[in-house]
Amino acid sequence: MKAFIVKNYGKKEKLHLTDWAEPTLNNNDVLVQVHSAGVNSLDLLIKNGEFKLFLPYKPPFVNGHDVAGVITKIGSDVSMFKVGDKVYSRPSDYRIGTFAEYVAIDENDVALKPKNLSMEEAGSIPLVGLTAWQALIEVGKINRGQKVFIQAGSGGVGTFAIQLAKYLGAFVATTTSTKNMELVKSLGADLIIDYKTEDFETKLKDYDLVLHSNKDPKTLEKSFRVLKSGGQLISLVGPPTPEFATEIGLPLYLKLVTKLISMGAKNKAKKKNISFKFLFMRAEGKQLGQITQLIEAGVIKPVIDKVFPFEQTNEALTYVETGRSKGKVVVKVK
């Protein structure tokens, strides 16, 4: 099969289109013929080597974390799916590889594709959908009437999280640029802040939850200040915490590293009686199944900026790297 692989780590490195062995199936795996693959910032971070301390993939390997496609084979113990099922997934860590014609995925990480979405639309959902679900429902436990601040509302996670937070009954504030204000308003944002001309700290007060996705240290500090006592800051960009290190089974020395680098944020949170958590989403087919129900009910709609042909996967990554995409970028494989 054809696949885009990481030959060497590095920011200047491109993915290489090459002939690659078709994945072999474990007993609980399904083989998915890839129709589309969402493109994420995580794909860039993995390629650049910025995550190799925590996810030490050994090059060469196939990149890509989102998929929608059709099951063509199943393992001997698979019970939830059959050949011919149209599915989507965010494969678990160390099982990634959706920038390819086929990918093998544990059935527990797979869900049936929403019937009302195209393959390209479905391929845009898993990673950002699961991130928003785990942040707002699993960790945040958002209740009706609470105030939620979602940073970068027009991005991949932001466009999904705004819709989910509104479904949960929250009042939603977000940041975006002037040109994307109508987009985030149409998704349900109640208070929209132009990050180029306005300071969110002067507009927000006593929020219950901040979904933090901006790497600027000043943004993290401001985010603490807009939360009320007992509020939650859930960060998608770090610093990673010892709890995260324990969750993914990192060795002791890396737990110590995360303790050191998160100490400042943890201390600030403690002083203000705020919960600070670093969220690195995990694959979860059952949650994706619940997301399917919301999409089929019309509660959440995908937002796609561009669809690139498979051969232009590197161009798709470059476009995502600009940080200007509205919603998601997708590669059409089949």
Same domain membership, residue 156 and residue 80: no
Same domain membership, residue 255 and residue 231: yes
The upper half-sphere exposure of residue 181, i.e. CA atoms within 13 Å in the direction of its Cβ, equals: 10
Measured between alpha carbons, how far is 20 from 183 in angstroms, rounded to an integer?
Answer: 40
pLDDT score of 110: 98
pLDDT score of 292: 98
**CATH number of domain containing 52:** 3.90.180.10
- In-domain check, residue 111: yes
* pLDDT at position 277 over 90: yes
* pLDDT at position 10 over 90: yes
Mark which of 278, 294, 315 sits at the end of a domain: 278
pLDDT score of 324: 87
Q: What is the mean pLDDT of the segment spanning 9-31?
A: 98
CA 172 to chain centre: 19
Same domain membership, residue 206 and residue 90: no
Measured between alpha carbons, how far is 124 from 18 in angstroms, rounded to an integer?
Answer: 24
- In-domain check, residue 328: yes
Same domain membership, residue 310 and residue 257: no
Measured between alpha carbons, how far is 42 from 63 in angstroms, rounded to an integer?
Answer: 10
Mean of per-residue pLDDT scores for the chain: 97
Measured between alpha carbons, how far is 140 from 64 in angstroms, rounded to an integer?
Answer: 27
Measured between alpha carbons, how far is 291 from 121 in angstroms, rounded to an integer?
Answer: 13
Of the candidates 85, 1, 3, the residue with the CA atom closest to the CA atom of residue 331: 3
Where is average pLDDT lowest: 7-11, 155-159, 213-217?
213-217
pLDDT score of 63: 98
pLDDT score of 56: 94
pLDDT in tens, 89-141: 999 999 999 999 999 999 999 999 999 999 999 999 999 999 999 999 999 99
Q: What is the mean pLDDT of the segment spanning 210-222?
A: 95
Residue 27 belongs to domain spanning: 2-124+303-332
φ/ψ of residue 266, rounded to 5? -65, -45
Same domain membership, residue 176 and residue 119: no
* pLDDT at position 334 over 90: yes
Same domain membership, residue 87 and residue 39: yes
Same domain membership, residue 270 and residue 135: yes
Same domain membership, residue 226 and residue 164: yes
Measured between alpha carbons, how far is 62 from 186 in angstroms, rounded to an integer?
Answer: 36
Q: How buried is 73 (Cβ within 10 angstroms: 0-12 exposed, 13-18 middle, 19+ buried)? A: middle
Same domain membership, residue 319 and residue 271: no
**228 CB-near residues (< 8 Å, 6+ apart):** 205, 206, 207, 208
* Cα dihedral across residues 143, 146, 148, 153: positive or negative: positive
pLDDT score of 317: 98
Which pTM does this prediction carry?
0.97
What's the domain count of the chain?
A: 2
Measured between alpha carbons, how far is 329 from 334 in angstroms, rounded to an integer?
Answer: 16
The percentage of residues in the chain with a pLDDT greater than 90, rounded to a whole number, is 98
- In-domain check, residue 216: yes
